[in-house]
């Protein structure tokens, strides 16, 4: 049980809103050369309510099929309470009923907006403020997205819709869904108490939908079963089914948007700190730390907790600041930008399936965790005093000249790009149109 305490603390440190920073930027870079997107016609912006009212019976059927499948298939899946099922005939507020049937936070704004790539904003267009796009818990001084407002009926590029939607699950979809969270739906959704998440962050309750520790030692699970209670793979499944339905019924705007939501969860798991609670720490070390803490020497435990939090945050800041600098300076050819777009490994992965996140994406990412954590440690040890969390998003002077760190970073971003394309191709495949099951 003491191990459980340790792991609870360890898991409580990871800021879940990262996962390679702004997902829109990485998505543009990963997907921009995909022929299926390139050649696709512009799509017409439509409100969610229109998709719901025009396809209501098909949506009811899809969500019922998905619930049946999820109960059989996903480990530790908390069944959806039957009263959240969509009624056969739409009620007064179909949007709220739909979000609740998906067990998503019904307070999300679902703004009609796209993010431009850094350096490619359109200042003449009207922009939305962050608080018009993101729920209050996800606002932070770190947010630096620009949101170009879209009008209903406007024609927009599929890539812009898809890439923008890939950042959206961090705007509140999974906030306050657990029975011990604040808010209206906490008691209704049936997810039970929140298994992990850092209480220092207002958005911490989303963590179990954005991280997944699927490849731990059985001893760890035996001591800390709550580590298995996370469902990023289920979210990717739900949104893929909705995307296919929307495409098949002529609601392409929503097709790309749902596909972007699912893509977010795939991308999150390419970040090793979203796939391992404590990368680089073996089981024995964990037990030893706990034994020392029990004997009254808790410092190594607290150091481990601090260390993981710092490394995760610092490497994402390093990568994001570097990428923004490259994009703002208009640099087209650079190993980091090429890493996102490199399709060389795409064919080496198994075809997409409902277990792809668990068996391929997170397995690969968990495997890379220890070496990645180690090289970040070496970089931080050689770098000038790093900015603390309280120093906000101040970008320190950084020359990005750490070959070992950069090599691992580029490799992980290649994985980000490849898995993004594989998921998107699965959503766009015509043969799969309309089918919810894998
Ligand atoms: Zn996320």
37-92: per-residue pLDDT in tens?
A: 988 999 999 999 999 999 999 999 999 999 999 999 999 999 999 999 999 999 99
CA of 170 to the centre of ligand 1 (A): 5
Q: Is 59 left (phi over 0), alpha (psi -120 to 50) or beta?
A: alpha
CA of 79 to the centre of ligand 1 (A): 23
CA of 211 to the centre of ligand 1 (A): 8
CA of 362 to the centre of ligand 1 (A): 14
CA of 267 to the centre of ligand 1 (A): 8
CA of 434 to the centre of ligand 1 (A): 26
What does the pLDDT read at residue 437? 44
d(CA 409, CA 298): 32
C-beta of residue 436 within 8 angstroms of C-beta of residue 58: no
47 CB-near residues (< 8 Å, 6+ apart): 112, 152
CA of 74 to the centre of ligand 1 (A): 20
CA of 231 to the centre of ligand 1 (A): 12
Q: Is 267 exposed, middle or buried (0-12, 13-18, 19+ CB in 10 A)?
A: buried
235 CB-near residues (< 8 Å, 6+ apart): 169, 174, 209, 261, 262, 265
Stretches where the chain sits below pLDDT 70 are 1-18, 198-200, 384-397, 430-438
In the chain, where the domains are located: 2-432
CA of 206 to the centre of ligand 1 (A): 8
C-beta of residue 271 within 8 angstroms of C-beta of residue 308: no
What does the pLDDT read at residue 5? 55
What does the pLDDT read at residue 296? 83
Which whole-number Å values give the CA distances from 18 to 22, 269, 272, 431, in the listed order?
8, 11, 11, 34
d(CA 89, CA 370): 52
CA of 222 to the centre of ligand 1 (A): 27
What does the pLDDT read at residue 280? 84
CA of 16 to the centre of ligand 1 (A): 6
What does the pLDDT read at residue 391? 45
What does the pLDDT read at residue 138? 87
What does the pLDDT read at residue 438? 42
């Amino acid at each position: 049980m003491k191990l459980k305490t340790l792991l609870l603390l360890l898991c409580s440190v990871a800021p879940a809103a990262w996962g390679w920073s702004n997902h829109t930027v990485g998505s543009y870079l990963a997907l921009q050369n995909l022929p299926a997107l390139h050649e696709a016609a512009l799509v017409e912006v439509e409100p969610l309510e229109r998709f719901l009212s025009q396809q209501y019976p098909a949506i009811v059927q899809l969500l019922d099929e998905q619930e049946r499948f999820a109960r059989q298939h996903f480990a530790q899946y908390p069944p959806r309470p039957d009263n959240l099922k969509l009624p056969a005939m739409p009620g007064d507020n179909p949007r709220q009923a739909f979000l609740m049937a998906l067990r998503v936070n019904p307070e999300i704004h679902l703004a009609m907006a796209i993010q431009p790539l850094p350096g490619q904003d359109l200042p003449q267009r009207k922009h939305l403020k962050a608080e018009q796009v993101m729920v209050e818990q996800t606002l932070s001084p770190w947010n630096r997205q620009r949101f170009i407002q879209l009008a209903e009926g406007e024609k927009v590029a599929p890539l812009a819709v898809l890439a923008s939607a890939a950042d959206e699950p961090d705007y509140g979809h999974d906030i306050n869904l657990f029975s011990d969270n604040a808010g209206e739906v906490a008691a209704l959704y049936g997810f039970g108490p929140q298994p992990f998440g850092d209480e220092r962050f207002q958005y911490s309750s989303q963590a179990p939908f954005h991280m997944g520790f699927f490849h731990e030692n059985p001893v760890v699970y035996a001591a800390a079963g709550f580590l298995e209670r996370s469902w990023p793979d289920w979210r990717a499944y739900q949104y893929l089914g909705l995307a296919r339905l929307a495409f098949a019924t002529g609601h392409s705007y929503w097709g790309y948007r749902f596909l972007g939501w699912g893509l977010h969860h795939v991308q999150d798991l390419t970040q090793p700190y979203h796939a391992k609670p404590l990368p680089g720490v073996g089981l024995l070390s964990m037990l030893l730390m706990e034994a020392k803490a029990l004997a009254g020497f808790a410092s190594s435990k607290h150091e481990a907790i601090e260390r993981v939090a710092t490394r995760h945050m610092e490497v994402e800041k390093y990568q994001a600041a570097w990428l923004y600098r490259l994009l703002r300076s208009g640099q087209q050819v650079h190993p980091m930008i090429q890493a996102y777009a490199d399709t060389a490994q795409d064919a080496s992965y198994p075809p997409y399936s409902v277990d792809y996140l668990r068996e391929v994406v997170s397995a690969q990412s968990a495997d890379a965790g220890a070496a990645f954590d180690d090289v970040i440690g070496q970089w931080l040890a050689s770098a000038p005093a790093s900015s603390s969390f309280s120093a906000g998003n101040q970008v320190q002077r950084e020359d990005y000249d750490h070959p070992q760190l950069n090599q691992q970073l580029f490799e992980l971003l290649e994985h980000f790009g490849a898995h993004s394309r594989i998921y998107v191709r699965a959503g766009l495949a015509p043969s799969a149109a309309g089918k919810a099951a894998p």
